Structure 1
Amino acid sequence: MFDPRQLRTFREVVRTGSYSAAARRLGYTQPAITQQMRALEREAGTVLFTRVGRRMRLTEAGQALSKHAEVILENLADAHGQMDAYSRLRAGTVRLCAFPSASATLVPDALARITASHPGVHVELHEDEPPESLHRLVHGECDVTLAFTYPGLREAVPEEVVEIPLLEDQLTVVLPVGHRLARRQTVKLAELSQERWIAGCLRCRANLLHECAEQGFAPRIAFTTDDNLVVQSLVARGLGIAMMPGLVFNFLRHRRIAVRALEPASRRQVFAYLLREHRDIPATSLLVDELKVAAANRTGC
């Protein structure tokens, strides 16, 4: 395989027409140039130059190698430039998978900061709920996943995955404005045992069942939807009540619902996940850092 350093020296000899002129341009001694060209000829398996007076003339093989050397060195320069762009965050693409309420809150905050500071970094956004979103990460379909879990339903994280805590999101009960308990500041979950419920995604539904069981009852689930707007609209029309995370009300709140704190207090935990081997990829690391900032700002609201 040809040595790029020897190819650069070869190109300079071709341009200047002599070993001594190439040595002056490159800051080498003439014997060093001669040594490199002899090594290149051994690698090529043939003579590359003939001497005509004081100048070096390319042989037919030398002419062929000269054309290839230009292409090789240009490609190497392009490769170095592209790698430098990735390492200095002038370029890069990160695939992010997030659940809907994070997509509407944390993600826009983080992406706005990235666009302002590193416009060459591109983030592709996909939406999915856990645990499907974590499966997509493990199977290589995304680079970073935003997902949530509940304290009573914690699952083991695969060994190859890094879990980064972002925030704790308080759960609330969502009631129609005319509900008998809507005037209270807090509502005991046990008082809602006879209500009709609207359940969310699979993980949220599992948590609802778990928390109600802790209070000694099984909720009567009338509807199931993971669309936050649909949930609130159903509640507003008196078709049921729901347990929803506080993050949702940062971007969506129906005017005919009452949102109240639950007793006992309940919350979900929001994490960023990435593969261990991706921690040192600059664009991926940048996205995770900006998601941390976005989460800290939301926590402080």
Structure 2
Amino acid sequence: MFDSRHIRTFDEVVRAGSYSAAARALGYTQPAITQQMKALERAVGTPLFIRVGRRMRLTEAGEALSRHAGVILDSIAAAQQQMAAITGLRAGRVRVCAFPSAGATLVPEALARLAVEHPGVRVELQESEPPESLERLVRGECDITLAFTYPGLQEQVPDELVEIPLMEDQLTVLLPAGHPMVWRRAVKLEELAHERWIAGCLRCRSNFLHECAELGFAPDIVFTTDDNLVIQSLVAEGLGIAMMPGLVLSFLVHEKVTGRALDPASRRQVSAYVLREHLDIPATALVLEGLRSVAANREGC
């Protein structure tokens, strides 16, 4: 294995023509140059210089190494510049996997701030619901995962992941505009036991069924879809009502749909997850801080 310092010294010896001239150029003593060249020759397993009178001449191995030395040093310099850009947040890549409502709310606002303050940091977006999104993180397919958990359900998070709580997202009920309860500020879930329901993703559906069971009824689920826009359209057409996260209310697209909070309040925990060692990567830490800031502002509204 070559030592980059020895390659740099070797290149200067070739350029200067002697150990003493190289020592003057690099600010070393001549014995230090000699020691480095001996160490380099031990590493390559053959002499690099021979003396011809008072001059030094490259051996065949020395000539071969000389042809590569400039490329090696240029590559090291380029790598050092790129590392400095990444650690200085002038460059970098972060892969973020988010569930749909977070991807439509928390993520864009955080990335807008990032684009202004650190335009060289690029973010790649992925979309997936937990637990699949957490499994992607463990497999190394993303760097940050946004996922949610419900207090009434047992959640198994892989041991190698670190959870960074972001916010509590209050659950709401989506009602069609003509529903008799749209005039209330909040609704009780048990009062809607007779309704037809539209259920969401597997984790949300499990929580919904759990909350209904706690109140003593089994809901009549007539449609199931992971697509929030489809759910809104179904509710708008009067085909059912749905229990949805509060984050969804910020991108309601149907005038015929209204969201009402639950009484008593029901919430889910929204968190970011990373592999422990990724907390020390500057670009990842920067994106996490942006998500924390955006989530804190939303929760405080």
Task: Please name the residue that 1:172 is paired with.
Answer: 172
Is 1:134 aligned to 2:134, yes or no? yes
Judge conservation of contact 1:18–1:54 (CA < 8 Å) in 2.
no
Residues 43 and 163 (structure 1 numbering): CA distance in 2 closer, same or farther, change over 3 Å?
closer
**Greater alpha carbon shift after TM alignment, 104-113 vs 53-62:** 53-62
> In structure 1, what is the Cα distance between the partners aligned to 2:288 and 2:182?
39
Shift of 1:55: 4.1
User: SS where residue 213 of structure 2 aligns?
Assistant: helix
Is 1:249 aligned to 2:244, yes or no? no
Amino acid at match of 1:257: V
> In structure 1, what is the Cα distance between the partners aligned to 2:31 and 2:171?
77
Task: Please name the residue that 1:260 is paired with.
Answer: 260
> In structure 2, what is the Cα distance between the partners aligned to 1:148 and 1:37?
59
Shift of 1:15: 0.9
> In structure 1, what is the Cα distance between the partners aligned to 2:42 and 2:210?
75
Judge conservation of contact 1:136–1:142 (CA < 8 Å) in 2.
yes
User: SS where residue 152 of structure 1 aligns?
Assistant: coil
User: SS where residue 280 of structure 2 aligns?
Assistant: coil
Amino acid at match of 1:241: I
Shift of 1:102: 0.5
Shift of 1:73: 2.1
Amino acid at match of 1:85: A
> In structure 2, what is the Cα distance between the partners aligned to 1:179 and 1:43?
81
Shift of 1:178: 1.5
> In structure 1, what is the Cα distance between the partners aligned to 2:115 and 2:226?
30
The aligned length equals: 301
Judge conservation of contact 1:95–1:142 (CA < 8 Å) in 2.
yes
Amino acid at match of 1:111: L
**Greater alpha carbon shift after TM alignment, 177-186 vs 197-206:** 177-186
**Greater alpha carbon shift after TM alignment, 242-251 vs 88-97:** 88-97
Task: Please name the residue that 1:295 is paired with.
Answer: 295
Shift of 1:218: 0.8
> In structure 1, what is the Cα distance between the partners aligned to 2:34 and 2:151?
72
Amino acid at match of 1:86: I
User: SS where residue 153 of structure 1 aligns?
Assistant: coil
Q: How does 1:199-238 map to 2 (within 5 A)?
A: 199-238=199-238
Shift of 1:74: 2.2
C-alpha root-mean-square deviation of aligned residues, in Å?
A: 1.8
Q: TM-score, normalised by structure 1?
A: 0.93
> In structure 1, what is the Cα distance between the partners aligned to 2:38 and 2:65?
14
Shift of 1:53: 6.0
Shift of 1:52: 5.2
Task: Please name the residue that 2:284 is paired with.
Answer: 284
**Greater alpha carbon shift after TM alignment, 114-123 vs 155-164:** 114-123
User: 1:254-286, CA deviations, whole angstroms, 9 ceiling, x for partnerless residues?
Assistant: 211232221121111101111123221222222
Residues 204 and 43 (structure 1 numbering): CA distance in 2 closer, same or farther, change over 3 Å?
closer
Task: Work out the percentage of aligned pairs sharing the same amino acid.
Answer: 73
User: 1:206-251, CA deviations, whole angstroms, 9 ceiling, x for partnerless residues?
Assistant: 1111111111111111111122222122112211111111111112
Is 1:148 aligned to 2:144, yes or no? no
Q: How does 1:1-301 map to 2 (within 5 A)?
A: 1-51=1-51, 55-301=55-301
User: SS where residue 145 of structure 1 aligns?
Assistant: strand
User: SS where residue 134 of structure 1 aligns?
Assistant: helix
Residues 277 and 42 (structure 1 numbering): CA distance in 2 closer, same or farther, change over 3 Å?
closer
Shift of 1:200: 0.8
> In structure 1, what is the Cα distance between the partners aligned to 2:235 and 2:253?
11
> In structure 1, what is the Cα distance between the partners aligned to 2:199 and 2:269?
18
Residues 45 and 247 (structure 1 numbering): CA distance in 2 closer, same or farther, change over 3 Å?
closer
- Which 5+ residue runs of structure 2 have no aligned equivalent? none
**Greater alpha carbon shift after TM alignment, 190-199 vs 71-80:** 71-80
> In structure 1, what is the Cα distance between the partners aligned to 2:25 and 2:172?
74
Residues 212 and 20 (structure 1 numbering): CA distance in 2 closer, same or farther, change over 3 Å?
same
Residues 3 and 241 (structure 1 numbering): CA distance in 2 closer, same or farther, change over 3 Å?
closer
User: 1:9-46, CA deviations, whole angstroms, 9 ceiling, x for partnerless residues?
Assistant: 12111111122221111111223223333333344444
User: SS where residue 155 of structure 2 aligns?
Assistant: coil
**Greater alpha carbon shift after TM alignment, 84-93 vs 50-59:** 50-59
Shift of 1:51: 4.1
